[in-house]
Structure 1
């Protein structure tokens, strides 16, 4: 199994903590607006139907609480007590803060918490669950902890990243373009190089630019970068990130020419976007690294067997007839 222990990894904490602070409910906003739906939501609805208010649930890798949100939305007052953990040191579940006090108190978020070291007593939970979360941990250690904190006949329900899923394919394509946008002399840098000259245009100094070699060189380099960008957009099956980068640069150019921003402000905005891009690239890398192939998923099932679990359901999860989403698994403690 390729999942290595990630003890207090600062890059992971920063990347995910920063992401959740933006308020997203889950890690795949370009695939699912709002909360998950379709096959993923149907899977959890079947799990929710087995729960009641007297039970206790553990959610591993909760993010901003998409699973607690789903369970609460479906069960309302009959929702069990939920402890939701995440490695990120900051979370921003606005939906949770909006709940009435008596309901909000049933859902506890635990930040900076590793799945490999759960801060709960033995046999505390009736259900342990994870949605695109537990696979980011050391699975052998995390599953042993799950076995420890589950009560006899307690259940484990997982949706995990599949190495051949559409989500993994999107992540790989976006990671490729994020790396390209981060290379030296990249499209974003060449755009930043023309921002000061565009400020001259905004100030009515066009005539002074005609024979300016630096301005002409910057303009030529940017035009070449735009042509290259157009070629990549045309050839990519998933060019969303490239469109975002091009649209951002276009907005900066428009802001400078219209006088709504100066070159320094546009430059700073571009650098901030590029920093955010690096964190996004790290998250895509993480997804690809921890997605399970068939052999890894079978190994996971074998690990659960040795830990005293009975596998009830273990198969690929698809949307419609042919869109592979991930792995789904349900098991119970003997």
Structure 2
């Protein structure tokens, strides 16, 4: 969900869980819905097809950080053989509706474990033969997590994962959006200026209120302050390498402002505060991605940790999608 962070033990673990719960509650399949409608891209799918080809019907699988089940849904379509069971865990609250989208025979093998830290897995010792994780383990790979994996993995278990990489396209995007979100949310920023302007715009439906507004210099000051910060926002969008968050926020604010006359001040302010809360959640998620993405030293530290828990064969690679570096791939085998 950098290195060494355990979501269950960190001071803001509850805030993280709530932010991800709200994100998965929107029904998105994975963390890059704007770029990939399916299970990520061709390289990611090829990596998992190779892993699925190694499964047998007696395997007992564990997925760490399952979210809305994108990987299991891909297994439904691409896996030549399904394991006997899949325990899917996530720190967030999960909506299980996606289980209705997979074959009943596979659905019967899946056990969802929401609100479950990786440091306290509800599994027996040496009970897992296959561990999967996609853009998840790096968020909680602390000492307690490694100890728990050592406990539940069987003597000949395999772990396969894709993790965020510090130099990747996704990390650069997240870093940019983290800075942008902080600016958007800052005192005197676009959301603050929009909230100050909303009560004046809500007067537009009432002729008497409009006349009162026209005579009040505070209305003109609120409009001027909003226009100034939105001119700055337009300039940031034009200059940005990754403008989507800025553009989407600008569009969302403008929709709220344009509806204020018909909706009224209080409901409009409530709508703006919902937008602010979503932006706060996004800021937390992208800041965490930046902090947790692994550089070369980080992935080497993982290799040493895996050796300490009995993995003797470790293969590290790269995942690139659409001509962009996306993440690390890693396969580790015990025994």
- Structures share fold, TM-score greater than 0.5: yes
Give the C-alpha shift of residue 102 in structure 1.
4.4
The equivalent position to 2:281 in structure 1, one of 267, 279, 282, is 279
Matched residue, 2:154: 151
Secondary structure at 1:54's aligned position in 2?
Answer: coil
Cα offsets for 1:239-280 (capped at 9, x unmatched): 1111111111221222234x2x11221111001110121111
Matched residue, 2:304: 302
Query: Would you say 1:177 and 2:177 are equivalent positions?
Result: no
Give the C-alpha shift of residue 141 in structure 1.
3.2
CA distance in 2, matches of 1:326, 1:100: 30
Secondary structure at 1:267's aligned position in 2?
Answer: helix
Task: Give 1:137-286 correspondences, 5 Å limit.
Answer: 137-205=140-208, 206-257=210-261, 259=262, 261-286=263-288
The higher relative CO (CA closer than 8 Å, separation ≥ 6) is in 2
My pick for the range that moved more, 198-207 or 265-274, is 198-207
Label 1:333 to 1:77 Cα distance change in 2 as closer, same or farther (>3 A). Answer: closer
Cα offsets for 1:136-185 (capped at 9, x unmatched): 11344323322332223221101011011111111111111111111112
Secondary structure at 1:112's aligned position in 2?
Answer: coil
Cα offsets for 1:67-92 (capped at 9, x unmatched): 1111122237745421101111x101
| Contact kept in structure 2, 1:134 and 1:142, CA below 8 Å | no
CA distance in 1, matches of 2:317, 2:137: 17
CA distance in 2, matches of 1:303, 1:101: 37
Cα offsets for 1:204-246 (capped at 9, x unmatched): 3544433320111111111111111111111111111111111
RMSD: 2.0
TM-score normalised to structure 1 length: 0.92
The equivalent position to 1:291 in structure 2, one of 290, 293, 296, is 293
Secondary structure at 2:86's aligned position in 1?
Answer: strand
Gaps of 5+ in 1: none
| Contact kept in structure 1, 2:312 and 2:332, CA below 8 Å | yes
The equivalent position to 2:114 in structure 1, one of 93, 111, 118, is 111
TM-score normalised to structure 2 length: 0.92
Give the C-alpha shift of residue 12 in structure 1.
1.8
Give the C-alpha shift of residue 101 in structure 1.
4.9
Label 1:101 to 1:49 Cα distance change in 2 as closer, same or farther (>3 A). Answer: closer
My pick for the range that moved more, 64-73 or 157-166, is 64-73
Gaps of 5+ in 2: none
CA distance in 1, matches of 2:27, 2:103: 20
The equivalent position to 1:12 in structure 2, one of 5, 10, 16, is 16
Query: Would you say 1:30 and 2:52 are equivalent positions?
Result: no
Label 1:160 to 1:99 Cα distance change in 2 as closer, same or farther (>3 A). Answer: closer
